[in-house]
Amino acid sequence: MADLTSRVADRLEPVFARLRRTSSDPVKSTRTAVVIGRLLGAAFTICFATGVFSHVLQDYPSWIVLPRPVSLYRVTQGLHVISGIASIPLLLAKLWTVFPRLFEWPPIRSLAGVLERLSIAVLVTASLVEVAIGLLNIFQVYVFPFPFRQTHYALGWVVFGSLIVHIAVKLPLIARYWRSGARDRPRAGAVVSRRGLVGIVGVMVGAVTVTTAGQTIDALKPFNILGPRKQNIGPQGLPVNKTAMQAGVIAVAKSPEWALEVVAGGATTRFDLTALRALPQTTVDLPIACVEGWSQMARWKGVRMRDLLEAAGAAAESDLKVRSLQRNGVTSRMEMPAGFSADPMTLVALELNGEVLDIDHGYPARVIAPGRPGALQTKWLARIEVVS
């Protein structure tokens, strides 16, 4: 057995040595790994914090009602997707830099060394899968056989947890090579200087950011080449997440029989469009901020949720269960904590940007509330039930 191991090792060592030599480059130094690592660490930290925030908000916790500033979620989710996209070139550059270390010899030196390599394997794998499924989600490709949000969230903890372990293990090196004066190896013969490399990575980060961030940052709108949803493009000047056709609601939404049911204390009150239009109308400016990273401000007009609840004999401040005409899918139902139902900016909207709601934006009536993820701004309302 020992004989076999040493024979395998004898064969493997020159292979590793060759791979190490061909993949090595003076620019792939510890200092470079630290320089790119700090940028990647910053991007991952922003992405993780905003991601946890978004995940928690989507579970309608009544203990976290944050309606102001109205664009808070727009900013945090914009940052989530921007930092996630920016982390992709950083991650690739980091892997390129440390790749030769994969072929260090001997590969197994100590138990601590094995554990460290395992934690790096987890960090690398989880990071690659996390950014890949995140990217697919931005492009609305839900091909994976698992629920996106829960998987992306769980993996986020794996990435962040193993990142903390990685940083802790590498702390002495990080401290030594943090400052720009730190020199590690002579750099003659490098394919590119460190400055050059950081410059190239910077240009790549800039390019992917500028060509996508316009889906949420108004000033970058003209450069939004890759973001799938374009600001101001769509019916009534607003992008559409899912059309009425895709949701299978055209006939029911256009039916003259339509009426919004408000269920409170065992009694059901039906409000048809005429009844809704007869209630006091309020206009608010509120953004749609989609989890997929696009967002846009819009002007909505309709009935305040609190006014509607009072017209149905319920308290303005009520926990609600909201149902869409749409039959299936997570967006067909939504819960609204009392903190939002009582908010003077929360509307059952009937109009968008000065016109009767387009069918794709939720005609005859939709919810629009301040500071909530787009996925909770339910379109094609059918029923609002007071839970408590």
Ligand X SMILES: Nc1nc2c(c(=O)[nH]1)N[C@H]1C(S)=C(S)[C@@H](COP(=O)(O)O)O[C@H]1N2
Least distance to Mo ion, CB of residue 290, Å = 3
What is the Cα–Cα distance from 231 to 296, expressed in whole angstroms? 6
Provide, rounded to whole angstroms, the least separation between the CB of residue 379 and ligand X: 4
* Residue 375 in contact with ligand X, rule: CB under 6 A: yes
Minimum gap (Å) between residue 250 Cβ and ligand X: 13
212 touches, from Mo ion, ligand X, none (C-beta below 5 to 8 Å by class) = none
Give which of ligand X, Mo ion, none residue 324 binds (C-beta under 5 to 8 Å, depending on kind): ligand X
Q: Which is nearer to ligand X, 149 or 277 (CB)?
A: 149
Cβ closest to ligand X, residue 284 vs residue 375: 375
Residue of 276, 288, 309, 312 that binds ligand X (CB under 6 A): 288
> Least distance in Å: CB of 294 to ligand X?
8
Least Cα distance to 340 among 372, 299, 366, 314 occurs for 372
CA distance 126 to 122: 6
Which residue lies nearer to Mo ion by CB, 41 or 374? 374
* Residue 379 touches which of ligand X, Mo ion, none (Cβ within 5-8 Å per kind): ligand X
Peptide bond into 239 cis (omega under 30): no
Instruction: Give whichever of 37 and 373 is closer to Mo ion, judged by the CB atom.
Output: 373
Q: How far is CA 77 from CA 43, 55, 112, 261, in A?
A: 14, 10, 38, 32
Q: Check binding of 384 to ligand X (CB under 6 A).
A: no
379 binds ligand X (CB under 6 A): yes
Q: DSSP character for 172?
A: H
Write out the binding residues for ligand X, residues 301-360 only, by CB under 6 A: 324, 326, 331-332
CB 318 within 8 A of CB 386: yes
Q: Does 290 bind ligand X (CB under 6 A)?
A: yes
| Among the residue ranges 40-48, 78-86, 126-134, 236-244, the one whose residues contact ligand X (CB under 6 A) | 236-244
Contact yes or no for 73/373 (Cβ under 8 A): yes
In 10 A of CB 242, how many CB atoms? 14
Q: How far apart are CA 262 and CA 256, in angstroms?
A: 18
Which residues in 237-266 contact ligand X (CB under 6 A)? 238-242, 247
Cβ distance to Mo ion smaller for residue 30 or 241? 241
Pick one of ligand X, Mo ion, none as the site partner of residue 242 (Cβ within 5 to 8 A by kind): ligand X
Residues across the chain: 388
Q: How many residues bind ligand X (CB under 6 A)?
A: 20
312-321 burial: b if 16+ Cβ within 10 Å, else e: bebebebbbe
CA 226 from centroid of its chain's CA atoms: 16
Kindly state the smallest distance separating residue 241's Cβ from ligand X, in Å.
Answer: 4
Among Mo ion, ligand X, none, partner that 240 touches (CB below 5 to 8 angstroms by kind): ligand X
Rounded distance between C-alpha atoms, residue 26 and residue 183, angstroms: 11
For ligand X, which stretch binds (CB under 6 A), given 4-12, 205-213, 266-274, 372-380? 372-380
State in angstroms the smallest separation of the CB of 226 from ligand X.
19
Which of 377, 382, 384, 386: binder of ligand X (CB under 6 A)?
A: 377
In the DSSP assignment, the letter for residue 367 is E
Biggest CA pair distance of the chain: 90
Structure tokens, 49 = 């914090």
- Residues in contact with Mo ion by the rule CB under 5 A: 241, 290, 374-375
- Of 147 and 313, nearer to ligand X (C-beta) is 147
- Least Cβ distance, residue 296 to ligand X (angstroms): 8
- Would you call 302 helix, strand, or coil by DSSP? strand
> Element (H or E) spanning 258, and its range?
none
CA angle 238, 344, 53 (to 5 degrees): 65
Cβ-Cβ contacts under 8 Å for 335 (sequence gap 6 or more)? 60, 319, 320, 321, 322, 387
Question: Which listed residue (152, 306, 361, 372) binds ligand X by CB under 6 A?
Answer: 361
In the complex, residue closest to Mo ion by CB: 290
Indicate the residue among 197 and 345 with the shorter CB distance to ligand X: 345
Both structure tokens of 377: 């701004």
CA–CA gap between residue 227 and residue 292 (Å, rounded)? 10
Where does this chain bind ligand X (CB under 6 A)?
238-242, 247, 288, 290, 324, 326, 331-332, 361-362, 374-375, 377-380
